[in-house]
Amino acid sequence: MNAKILFSALFISLIFFSCEEKSVQVYPKEVEIAPAQDEQEVKDSIAEVKLDSVTTSYMKTFNLIDVLTVDPTIQIDLRYATTNNFMGRVLYDTLNALYLQEDVALRISKCQAYLKAKFPNYSLLIYDGVRPLEVQREMWNALDTIPAAQRGKFVSNPSYGSVHNFGAAVDVTICDQTGTPLDMGADYDDFRDIAFPSKEWKFLASGELTTEQHTNRKLLREVMKSQRFRGIPSEWWHFNALSRNQAVAKYKKLIFESGVN
């Protein structure tokens, strides 16, 4: 076949397939188009979606699931849904369960199995999972006495987002069979240096962090590392399932309010 014949054949095929595509888009006459909703109906349906936004189905659109549906043996104390947090007030008025990305929840359940294989009476106790971006902004603004450059150690800048916003980070500790957290030498959301894993050597040397407290932290890290979770230098309780860049590429940020990005 010479080039001219080949070109003609390609041209004819192109016309054929273009026509084919057009014919698919023609609606049969019997298909009825639904009448347009009036403005009020549209507003009502938007309001319903907003009211319904805490439901599993809304979270499902972000691939987020209640971690207890994956492993009901995990203990949860969702601190930001209570007043027992560093802000002293309820921040999660739209959340009442601990949600994570499905694959992250699965990895957490494997961490729980790892822990229970070693210490059957112990359990993971999770304080936080997915965090709506609006709450991230509230926390950032509440810590405005700390210069922005330093503030990122404790709360991620909402302009970039935290791995929590994607449901791919957890704040977690270990508790015994009574639900009492192990002594980690600093409570959850303690912003003092003694909570820094990177400064443990200093506090061990001064005796402010005991060997037992340090052993408890090391156990938590071992359990989380078994499923490739990574800690951060400034909070013993925080672990990322992946990096922020990987989270951006893979997941969507949880947003409840319109106009927030």
DSSP assignment string, 54-69:
GSHHHHHTTTEEEHHH
Question: How far is it, in rounded angstroms, from Cα 16 to Cα 131?
Answer: 52
Q: What letter represents residue 53's amino acid?
A: S
| Beta carbon nearer to Zn ion, 175 or 204 | 175
Residue 189 binding Zn ion, by CB under 5 A: no
Cα separation, 30 vs 27, whole angstroms: 8
* 123-128 vs 75-76, strand pairing mode: parallel
Would you state the torsion angle of the CA atoms of residues 230, 112, 95, 196, taken in this order, to the nearest 10 degrees? Answer: -40
Distance of closest approach, residue 73 Cβ to Zn ion, in angstroms? 22
CB 169, min distance to Zn ion, A:
5
Closest approach, Cβ 188 to Zn ion, in A, equals 9
- Which segment (46-54, 59-67, 94-102, 235-243) binds Zn ion by CB under 5 A? 235-243
**Shortest approach of Zn ion to residue 207 CB, angstroms?**
28
Count CB atoms within 10 A of the CB of residue 174.
19
Q: Name the residue nearer to Zn ion (CB basis): 77 or 171.
A: 171
Q: Reduced to 3 states, what is the DSSP secondary structure of residue 169?
A: strand
If the CB atoms of residues 167 and 185 are measured against Zn ion, the closer one turns out to be 167
Stretch of residues binding Zn ion (CB under 5 A), selected from 20-28, 39-47, 65-73, 238-246: 238-246
Identify the H or E element spanning 41.
Answer: helix 39-51
Residue 99: CB atoms within 10 A of its CB come to: 26
260: Cβ contacts below 8 Å, ≥ 6 apart: 133, 134, 137
Neighbouring C-alpha atoms within 13 Å toward the C-beta of 159: 4
> Can residue 79 be called a binding residue for Zn ion (CB under 5 A)?
no
Task: Report in angstroms how near the CB of residue 77 gets to Zn ion at its nearest.
Answer: 14
Q: How many residues bind Zn ion (CB under 5 A)?
A: 2
Longest Cα–Cα distance in the chain: 88
Q: Which is nearer to Zn ion, 238 or 253 (CB)?
A: 238
Pick from 99, 122, 123, 171 the residue near Zn ion by CB under 5 A.
Answer: 171
Nearer to Zn ion by Cβ, of 109 and 240: the residue is 240
> Which of these segments, 11-19, 28-36, 114-122, 231-239, binds Zn ion (CB under 5 A)?
231-239
> By C-beta, is 119 or 152 nearer to Zn ion?
152
Q: How far is the CB of 234 from Zn ion (least distance, A)?
A: 10
Least distance (Å) between residue 176 CB and Zn ion: 22
SS3 state at 51: helix
Interacting residues of 121 by C-beta distance below 8 A, sequence separation 6+: 176, 177
Q: CB 235 → Zn ion: shortest distance, Å?
A: 6
Contact call for residue 238 and Zn ion (CB under 5 A): yes
Interface ranges with Zn ion (CB under 5 A): 171, 238
